[in-house]
Amino acid sequence: MTPKKKILTLAAVVVVLAAAFWYGGNAPGLQGWQISSPSQSAASSGPCSSGSSLADLESASTQPDTSSLDFPAPDQSPSQSSPETDASASAPQAPEDPKADTPPASSSSPSASLSSGDSSVPQETDPEPVSLTCTISIRCDPVLEHMDWLDPDKAELIPADGVILAETQASFQEGETVFDLLQRLTRQEGIHMEASFTPGYNSSYVEGIDNLYEFDCGQQSGWLYRVNGSSPGYSSSQYVLSDGDRVEWLYTCDLGQDVGAAQ
């Protein structure tokens, strides 16, 4: 057989095989058309063009069919939500409790209630001091009987009646002494008074009143005091006053003999 005949024979065999392959099977894909998805059929109702690739066919066959699922359509608007969602959204909200944000009122302390002037609680007050009174006088009349004994420089200081301070009623606080009263009254009346204090005996000694000092009218002259007509015999800074006492300060020229203090 000549080469030309071999080529023609081979071509005829190929044509026969191709025709048998094309028209011989019952599969739809072997007869010139293919299965397409709904979206592809909407785009083209005709058979698949000869230019379709195998990859397109595989991707179309592997995509899941979601038409039977319950997912909402992508273009579904918010207004088309489920009835449960609409019910929860439209349900009225409970009003907020106004007491929830209100801080608890602070309880007032007892001191605050007392300071507010509660008349039912008795207010403590300082006790009023007890009013105590006594009388006091200052005299130097014995000097008038012994003017020749007096220091000449002090003669003009002696009152004509010998009274430096007439009997005066004075008030005092509980616990005050005869010396406290004398010191306060002479300062109040503007009368000069000088005294010395002896720490060892815890006592005060009156040296001079109204510039009339001890020894100004003899070696036995000086100031002494009496309470209720008698001389206590100890320092005036140690004698505590009592209500109604009668205090006398006397200048003696004879160690108290001339004023009756030694009796």
What CATH number does residue 139 fall under? 2.170.130.30
Count of domains forming the chain: 1
Rounded Cα distance between 115 and 121, Å, is 10
Taking only the tens of pLDDT, the chain with its 263 residues reads 677 777 888 888 888 787 777 666 555 555 554 555 444 444 444 444 444 444 444 444 445 444 444 444 445 444 444 444 444 444 455 555 555 555 555 554 544 444 445 556 667 777 676 789 999 999 999 999 999 999 999 999 999 999 999 999 999 999 999 999 999 999 999 999 999 999 988 899 999 999 999 999 999 999 999 999 999 999 999 999 999 999 999 999 999 999 987 54
Rounded Cα distance between 127 and 132, Å, is 15
Rounded Cα distance between 243 and 169, Å, is 11
* Cα angle 35-41-46, degrees, rounded to a multiple of 5: 80
Domain annotation covers residue 114: no
Count CA atoms closer than 13 A to 124's CA, side-chain side. 1
Domain annotation covers residue 103: no
Domain annotation covers residue 71: no
Domain annotation covers residue 200: yes
pTM over 0.75: no
Cα R_g (the chain), whole angstroms: 69
**132-139, strands of its sheet edge to edge:** 163-172, 132-139, 246-252, 222-227
pLDDT at 19: 72
Q: Are 142 and 251 in contact (CB under 8 A)?
A: yes
Domain annotation covers residue 12: no
| Spatial CA neighbour of 133 closest among 246, 226, 240, 244 | 244
Give Cα 131 distance to the centre of its chain.
43
Count CA atoms closer than 13 A to 164's CA, side-chain side. 30
DSSP string for 192-225 = -EEEEEETTTTEEEEEEETTEETTBTBTT-EEEE
Work out the burial of residue 128: count CB atoms within 10 Å of its CB; fewer than 13 is exposed, 13-18 middle, 19 or more buried. Answer: exposed
Residue indicated by tokens 């207010």 = 123
Domain around 167: 132-256
Domain annotation covers residue 69: no
Rounded Cα distance between 23 and 108, Å, is 107
pLDDT at 28: 52
Residue indicated by tokens 């072997």 = 30
pLDDT at 129: 66
Three-state DSSP state, 177 = strand
pLDDT at 121: 61
Domain annotation covers residue 138: yes
Domain annotation covers residue 95: no
Rounded Cα distance between 134 and 243, Å, is 6
